[in-house]
Amino acid sequence: MFKILTNFFLGGIIFSSIYYFSNTLKNPGLSAIISLLPISIICSYIIQDKNILLKHCNNLLYVLVITFISIIFLIMLLKNVYINKHYLITLVLFFWIATQFIFYNFYAYKK
């Protein structure tokens, strides 16, 4: 139970830091660095089985590509579509979820 609470508070610290650096200090460079901390690599510490860890790392590459494409998609939308940014972000999140779902069900390394 302690590990779950620790992870929960760590997530809160990360979100609070992103908010602080982007909205208070107006520093998008630092907020981007914090938001893309290599959490996926840090998570490798808690994966006990080496074979599972290897598959985890292989899957990270595919997730990274989908995320990269999603970010490019969001940048293009923000530059060229003049509707509320929240709608655009939500659209890209749905795109990301749908592509991750397809990846997981058809291509992901599983047990």
pLDDT digit string (tens) for 45-77? Answer: 889 999 999 999 999 999 999 999 999 999 999
Phi, psi torsion values for 26, nearest 5 degrees: 55, 45
- Do the domain assignments include residue 88? yes
C-alpha count within 13 angstroms, C-beta hemisphere, residue 27: 12
The number of distinct structural domains making up the chain is: 2
Tokens of 66: 């989908």
* 32 lies in the same domain as 1: yes
Give yes or no: residues 5 and 56 share one domain.
no
Percent of the chain topping pLDDT 70: 97
Is 12 within the bounds of a domain? yes
Any domain includes 90: yes
Domain identity same for 87 and 56: yes
In a domain, residue 42? The reply is no
d(C-alpha 61, C-alpha 32), whole Å: 19
88-100 average pLDDT score: 97
Cα separation of 48 and 54, whole Å?
11
Asked whether residue 52 falls in the same domain as residue 33, the answer is no
pLDDT at 52 (0 to 100): 92
Average pLDDT for the chain: 89
Examine residue 111 and state whether it is found in any structural domain, yes or no. Answer: yes
Residue type, 69: I
Asked whether residue 38 carries a pLDDT value surpassing 90, the answer given is: no
